Structure 1
Amino acid sequence: MTTSPPPPSAAAPQKQQPTSATLTPLPPFQPDLYQRAWSSIPHPTLPLLATAHAKSVTVFSLATLTKHSALTGGHARSVRTAAWQPARGSGNTKRLGLVTGSFDATAGMWSFDEEEERGLEREVRFGGNSEEGDDDNDGGKEWEFNLVLEGHENEVKGLAFSPGGQYLATCSRDKSVWIWEDVSSGEGDGTEDDWETVAVLSEHDGDVKAVAWCPVDLPNAKAGARRGNYSADVLASASYDNTVRIWREDADGEWVCVDVLTDHEGTVWGLQWETKPRDDGKFPRLMTFSADGTIKVWSLREEETPDEPAAAEDSNAFRSNFGALPNTLRRSLREEWDCTAVLPKVHTRDIYSVAWSADTGLVASTGSDGIVAVYAEVDESEALSDKSGGEQEGEDVVMTSPSPQQQQRKPTWKVLGTISSAHGPYEVNHVTWCKRFDAGAAPERRGREEMLVTTGDDGVVRPWQARIA
């Protein structure tokens, strides 16, 4: 009798799963950039948003939705991408850093003036106060261009810091991924930049569009470092060759490809790691999106008792799946990543960007068709039960039906809502979730409530209020 109540009580929360999303445009960030903008990257803790466009980066305040500062003069051609550097130094000497990737084939390291960074800390606390937030002192807010990373032969398409900041990965039209290591002493005020190349990975057959590091601080994220064969750092790269490659550092310090994901039928424009801890405690999943109009979810095949002899037995089948593999894809270091879900079809053209919320687990996507879509992962049983009364649920169920004997619910994805022509006739290049610090958010929810931000060819950086029901 006591074991009977848990199923109903476990099912009850499922009724409160999200069923719809309404996106309402908020006033766009000012000023308009009046030229194609590629991406907008929120700072992980401060109310700042870095937008790459032309030969510069404009940093907007999330408190005032206006320009905070700008990075100019470091690149000869357009800045394609940017990433915030994990905090360096300690105490009052912590430094704000940003890295930029450009069509001039270089990456640039920037830092913010030390005194002004203390102003940023004040902005976190008083961002909702218009008297504090509208300080008209942009002229004193200076970014310093510290270092140029050279080596790529063509434009830098993407870059990303490892979670701890020890490594920086850059990727390029030259079909390569470079891994740079921070070899700064770590002493003093943390203002010195010293990076050296530790690996050049040239196994893709086309432009490498994006790189992303697995968030290793999540529960079980280190589980993949089986039997000490390689480190916990995991890098994924997406390419024009329609594939995604998974990379790890082995015990000898060599970066090796441990799997190749081949299910896409078009350019893989990018990827996103799951940053919300999983209820089942398993390794973070990877989401990939492509010119084929699909968004796929990949899961690491985690064996309960991973045996090297057992792994060797199916090596022939593994090789047959990928053909002649380079030596760096070593049998002893290989992994198996399976496509475990395909999100419902929404986009009619290339999908350029996907954002996976660390808070809610909701996913947003956008692309060349100008559509912005929001998705939620739900129990398959609920998606099936919703089928009778929904308008768009016909496409919701994308995975096979669960066994009646299985108590565990199988997740699937459903569309919560879409917006067409989000930037009018222009393509939308990027979408991201970020915290709200503006005066329009309820005071008690500032810094906690999420909104969407889209960036387009029209040079507009547009925030959206997301109402989830």
Structure 2
Amino acid sequence: MDLYDGNLELKELQTLHGHTDRVWSLAWNPAASSPPQFASCSGDKTVRIWEQSPSSRSWHCKAVMEETHTRTVRSCAWSPSGKLLATASFDATTAIWENVGGDFECVSTLEGHENEVKSVAWNAGGTLLATCSRDKTVWIWEVMPGNEFECASVLQGHSQDVKMVKWHPTLDILFSCSYDNTIKVWAEDGTGDWHCVQTLGEANNGHSSTVWALSFNADGDKMVTCSDDLTLKIWETDITRIESGDDPAPWSHLCTLSGYHDRTIFSVHWSREGIIASGAADDAIRFFTESKDALVDGPSYKLLLKRDKAHDMDVNSVQWSPGENRLLASASDDGTIKMWELAALT
């Protein structure tokens, strides 16, 4: 199916109930394809594991992790192997869960942040974990044998609450976005020291308000960011220069998408086949793809599809399945998770 012919519709497959407060974040297990599986976390202090039934294709809650975090669980992320799940909480801790025969056990608790931990992310190799907090810092943890985690670096560069951390999909380069309106790019200098190699802000066509989230395309040479300024911005870099071992190539602003959401854009996710999904406080989900319009000078992106009132309240997270099918999960302040399929018009 050609993405550019526009013959697509968004089918709502199922609404998942279970959380008793807003659902903040979703994470698909990258290693679980049969059956597919994802985690959700909520203001109700719990984490839920959801799985699809192979026979009925419907989703059900397989496990509930509770009584570990004492406040809102804000973020969750699977290790690349799918064996460990990290959960970040407003109780200032990050918990590490291990799947032991289908049961999830908390095997480690990471402490150090002064207050709310907002986001957690694994690098592609599963050897490093990053966390960020309202305390303005980003921590990098080294994964040691026996489910031990050692703080390798505390990064101080943001002047406000750090909303999200995300590793580059193939390289050990870390990105953080913040209430200070910037995205920072962090790299290790070869001696074990981490430092900020670039700041993307208003001075280089960046955002003019809080940056909430970011996501990379499949090749890792483009990044999309979303903000309280109601825009999405596309950035690009020379990936071959980075992979050759040179200093990290700078990211440059490619284009800005504006006028598509009328309240804060909280979440953005780039699918493996090039579709960008965004979720916002206007309760809506939007889909974008690269435009093939020859009249436009340089790369540009167009609205592919939109769904108003996707949820009854703010859409906090949109996440594409890592599988082949165009399956999207969304999470909301309304306490529900919805499963969607981007399908050909029938």
User: Normalising by structure 1, what TM-score?
Assistant: 0.67
| Number of the residue aligned with 2:30 | 44
Q: Is the 8 A contact 1:214 1:284 kept in 2?
A: no
Residue 22 of structure 2 aligns to which amino acid in structure 1?
R
Secondary structure of the corresponding residue to residue 129 of structure 2: strand
Is residue 448 of structure 1 aligned with residue 335 of structure 2? no
| Structure 2 gap ranges (5+) | none
| Number of the residue aligned with 2:178 | 239
| Number of the residue aligned with 1:341 | 255
Q: Is the 8 A contact 1:429 1:457 kept in 2?
A: yes
Moved over 4 A (4+): 301-304, 332-335
* More strand, by proportion: 2
Is residue 370 of structure 1 aligned with residue 279 of structure 2? no
| Structure 1 gap ranges (5+) | 1-12, 88-94, 117-141, 185-191, 217-231, 278-282, 305-331, 385-400, 403-409, 436-446
What does residue range 449-464 of structure 1 map to in structure 2 within 5 Å?
Answer: 449-464=325-340
Residue 108 of structure 1 aligns to which amino acid in structure 2?
A
Q: Distance in 1 between matches of 2:196 and 2:248?
A: 8
Is residue 156 of structure 1 aligned with residue 117 of structure 2? yes
Q: Is the 8 A contact 1:85 1:98 kept in 2?
A: yes
| Number of the residue aligned with 1:83 | 77
| Number of the residue aligned with 1:205 | 159
Between the aligned residues of both structures, percent identity stands at: 36
Residue 341 of structure 1 aligns to which amino acid in structure 2?
C
Query: How many residue pairs are counted as aligned between the two chains?
Result: 330
Residue 291 of structure 1 aligns to which amino acid in structure 2?
D
Q: Distance in 2 between matches of 1:417 and 1:303?
A: 32
Is residue 168 of structure 1 aligned with residue 154 of structure 2? no
The Cα shift of 1:345 comes to: 2.6
Deviations 1:253-305 (A, max 9, x none): 1111111001100000011122x23xxxxx5212111000111111125798x
Secondary structure of the corresponding residue to residue 124 of structure 2: coil
* More helix, by proportion: 1
What does residue range 91-130 of structure 1 map to in structure 2 within 5 Å?
Answer: 96-113=83-100, 115-116=101-102
Distance change >3 Å, CA 61–CA 300, structure 1 → 2:
same
Deviations 1:141-177 (A, max 9, x none): x211111100000110001000001100000000000
The Cα shift of 1:71 comes to: 1.2
The Cα shift of 1:62 comes to: 2.6
Deviations 1:72-93 (A, max 9, x none): 1211111111111222xxxxxx
Structure 1 counterpart of 2:198, from 236, 249, 259: 259
The Cα shift of 1:251 comes to: 1.7
Q: Distance in 1 between matches of 2:7 and 2:275?
A: 11
Distance change >3 Å, CA 303–CA 25, structure 1 → 2:
closer
Distance change >3 Å, CA 417–CA 303, structure 1 → 2:
closer
Secondary structure of the corresponding residue to residue 340 of structure 1: strand
Distance change >3 Å, CA 48–CA 303, structure 1 → 2:
closer
Is residue 32 of structure 1 aligned with residue 26 of structure 2? no
Q: Distance in 1 between matches of 2:3 and 2:48?
A: 39
User: Normalising by structure 2, what TM-score?
Assistant: 0.90
Q: CA RMSD in A?
A: 2.2
The Cα shift of 1:17 comes to: 2.6
Deviations 1:378-401 (A, max 9, x none): 2231xx4xxxxxxxxxxxxxxxx4
The Cα shift of 1:333 comes to: 5.4
Q: Distance in 2 between matches of 1:303 and 1:273?
A: 16
Q: Distance in 2 between matches of 1:302 and 1:69?
A: 39
Q: Is the 8 A contact 1:204 1:239 kept in 2?
A: yes
Residue 203 of structure 1 aligns to which amino acid in structure 2?
G
- Could you say which structure has the larger radius of gyration? 1
Distance change >3 Å, CA 463–CA 16, structure 1 → 2:
closer
